[in-house]
Amino acid sequence: MRVVLFSKRNTKEIIREPLNFFFGLGFPLILLLLLSIINASIPAEANNAMFEIDNLAPGLAMFGTAFMALFSGTLVAKDRTSSFLMRLFASPMTATDFILGYTLPMIAMTAVQCTITFLASLIFGLQFTVSILFAILITVITSFLFVGIGLLCGTLLNDKAVGGICGALVTNIAGWFSGIFIPIDLIGGAFKVITDILPFYHVVEAIKAALQVDFSVMLPHLGVVLAYALIIYIIAIYAFNNKMKGD
Amino acid sequence: MDAIVTTNLVKKYGDFTAVDDLNLTIKQGELFSLLGLNGAGKTTVIKMLSCLSKPTGGDAFLLGDSINEKPQSIKKIINLSPQETAVAPNLTVKENLELIAGLYGQNSKNSQKSAALTANRFGLDDVMSKKAKILSGGMQRRLSIAMALISSPEILFLDEPTLGLDVLARRELWAAIKALKGKVTVVLTTHYLEEAEALSDRVGIMAKGKSVAVGTVSDLIGQTGTTKLEDAFIALNGGAI
């Protein structure tokens, strides 16, 4: 009951901010349009499949979920710095109520957001198959990574710092080190090693493989992402519990 | 019956002792004001009593339950209005009130009823459908206190409730707080001595984490040989009158 009430409140707080709508829904769609136009201008003899819709749609689905770190982080930080969270800490709410209450709306928003991204991708040539549903499911699962980053940053930092780290740093790193905008395999070297170490490239590859229903490729990438998400969540929950105890 | 009993309550942050061996008893239905200079330890006491911060030593019992042993039971019977306005900015006044009512266990129907009653009590009826963030500072503060009362707490902590309010808004809030006397145990911190004088059954004065005096306003004035609470407060804090 408390989780539902708190989730509803968090959903309202986020969707009633017009900027969130733009970054959450509009920005991935604008990128889809721009990158599709670029793709159409690339001559066939260049043999560059990076911006082809089968690669682009999973990449932008991931890029959209990166904004969940910003949304969740900003919400937690604002609640904390405005004393609203102090009021709730004094209420009968438990740590589980808080973590689920902040997480569930983000997961629901991810589902809506990536569904819209995939549906829009149909206009740009993505084949309509049932595997799109599977890709949406995997996108939703991988979004725990970004929601966890947001919870951790929101617990430790103020809303301005969260804006800088989750809004600028995380989205940029996620964009550049995931292979959406630049051909990682072509660059290779240290850059490729870094992308392999970070989880963002694995998120995109897991979603791409889900779209192809290729479990042998998907599962190792998904494993890396979930390991990262789990570690980040454990740290975030530990930090949040400490805040609840006033330590 | 005693609503709050603290026994040798201590809070330390590293080498700094914020609350030092506090022993205090507050009766049920009493309006008790905690006064002190900045950094005297008032807010730290409120945080420990409302289970927001664990004591380093000692204990406190709220209607018989220990803050160390049963914080979850205590949280059901208390509510708090923090020093800063604590409202959900993008929720309407009605949604803010119903949210808190629901979090304290009221079902949807009762939450709506409580929200309407509490809004009426605090003069918020006309702004029920307005988002909290567009209200004036005074109205936000009023909402923040209304949210602390909607759960019908047995013990209410008000941390500087009228800070930053204009004189009219302050007087209106005083009337609302006075109306709680005898029904709810209220612990109030304030820097406004006339507020403590106007509202309190008893006053506790803290200095450097310690309780230096507890009593009615006239007790404290008599104890210090002064003529008003402000002079008594200054005397008890070691200042020159």
- Domain boundaries, position A191: 2-39+50-246
> HSE-up of B169 (CA within 13 Å, CB side)?
16
Res B238 pLDDT > 80: no
Show the low-confidence residues of chain A (pLDDT under 50): none
Residue contact A83–B90, C-beta within 8 A: no
DSSP state of A127: -
* Partner B contacted by A92 (CB < 8 A): yes
- Whether B28 has a pLDDT exceeding 70, the answer reads yes
User: Average pLDDT, stretch B96-100?
Assistant: 97
Residue A183 makes CB contacts below 8 A (sequence gap 6+) with A48, A50
Nearest to A159 by CA among A67, A76, A65, A54: A76
| Listed range (B4-13, B152-161, B164-173) with the worst mean pLDDT | B164-173
Mean per-residue pLDDT over chain B, rounded: 92
- Is residue A181, in this structure, part of any structural domain at all? yes
**Contact call for residues B193 and B157 (beta carbons, < 8 A):** no
For residue A245, the chain B residues in CB contact (below 8 A) are 53-54
Question: What count of other Cβ atoms lies within 10 Å of the Cβ of residue A146?
Answer: 31
At B114-141, the pLDDT tens digits run 999 999 988 899 999 999 999 988 889 8
In contact, A64 and A22? CB cutoff 8 Å: no
Asked if the structure places residue A56 within a domain, the reply is yes
Establish if B99 touches chain A: CB-CB under 8 angstroms.
yes
The tens digit of pLDDT for each residue in A169-183 reads: 999 999 999 988 888
Give domain status of residue A44, yes or no: no
Tell me chain A's radius of gyration from C-alpha atoms: 18
Measure the CA–CA gap between A87 and A73, rounded to whole angstroms.
19
Question: A82 touching B, CB under 8 A?
Answer: yes
Asked if A86 lies within 8 A of B91 by C-beta distance, the reply is no
> How close B81 gets to chain A, by Cα (Å)?
7
* A9 touching chain B per CB within 8 A: yes
With contacts defined as CB-CB under 8 Å, which chain B residues touch A6? 99, 103
Spatial separation of the C-alpha atoms in residues A23 and A224, rounded to whole Å: 27
**Looking at residue A247, what is its pLDDT?**
55
Considering only the beta carbons, identify the residue of B50, B91, B105 that sits closest to A12: B91
Identify the pLDDT of residue B241: 58
Say if A45 falls within a structural domain.
no
A90–B52 CB contact, under 8 Å: yes
pLDDT value at B60 more than 70? yes
Q: Which own/partner pairs from A125-131 qualify as long-range (CB within 8 Å, at least 24 positions apart)? A: A125/A53, A126/A53, A126/A54, A126/A57, A131/A210, A131/A211, A131/A212, A131/A213
pTM: 0.89
Q: How confident is the model at residue B165 (pLDDT cuts 50, 70, 90)?
A: confident
- Tell me which of A227 and B40 has the higher pLDDT: A227
Does position B240 have pLDDT exceeding 70, yes or no? no
Is residue A183 assigned to a domain?
A: yes
Please tell me the total count of domains within chain A: 1
Share of chain B above pLDDT 70, in %: 99
Q: Which of A1, A163, A9 is nearest to A81 (CA)?
A: A163
